[in-house]
Amino acid sequence: MKFTIEINDFWVEDDYVIESLTHRIKSEVIDQINAKIKDKIDIAIGTSIQEIIEKELRFKIDSRIAAIVSSETITINKREVLIVDYIKETFTKSTGWNNPIDLISRKAKEFGEEMKKRYDYLYANQIVQQMHKIGIIKEEVFNNLIEQKDV
């Protein structure tokens, strides 16, 4: 810890200088220590309270979600709607997809084809590198193959 004590406006009679100065220094040091301790306590209390509040909120949110899911209905614009119907309505409304199942299937197929192309590229790249490593292909051919295949 670093302590700074300012004694600019400190006045005492000559007989009590050492005693008064000692008392003043002790008071300043104690005040600074108390301030630092108070700050640490305030931070610890704030952190503790925040953890308790977050825990309670998580519990309440989880309980509310569980209640909504178990009831299978939610209230929207003062009317009860099945969760399944609400999800379908929101999904088709916000995306413009008339048939989400077909679109999801098509996207999954496109993703699978892209992954297959990447796998084929990586496999071919490894074969070329192994051939180069054992000396089957020349350096120029290796460089041309690798340069052409880099994406």
* Residue-level pLDDT, tens digit, the chain, 151 residues: 666 666 665 555 556 667 777 888 899 999 999 999 999 999 999 999 999 999 999 999 999 888 888 888 888 888 888 888 888 777 777 566 666 677 788 889 999 999 888 888 888 888 888 888 888 888 888 888 776 544 4
Q: What would the two tokens of residue 31 be?
A: 């005040």
Residue 49, domain member (yes or no)? yes
Residue 132, domain member (yes or no)? no
pTM of the model: 0.38
Residue 110, domain member (yes or no)? no
Residue 52, domain member (yes or no)? yes
Residue 60, domain member (yes or no)? yes
Helix (H) or strand (E) holding 81: strand 79-82
Closest-CA residue to 150 (of 131, 130, 114, 124): 124
| Widest pairwise Cα distance in the chain | 100
Residue 58, domain member (yes or no)? yes
- Distances in Å between the Cα of 49 and the Cα atoms of 36, 43, 45, 55, 57 are 20, 10, 6, 10, 12
User: What is the tally of structural domains in the chain?
Assistant: 1
Q: Residue 39: which domain range? A: 14-71
Residue 141, domain member (yes or no)? no
CB 81 within 8 A of CB 73: yes
Residue 51, domain member (yes or no)? yes
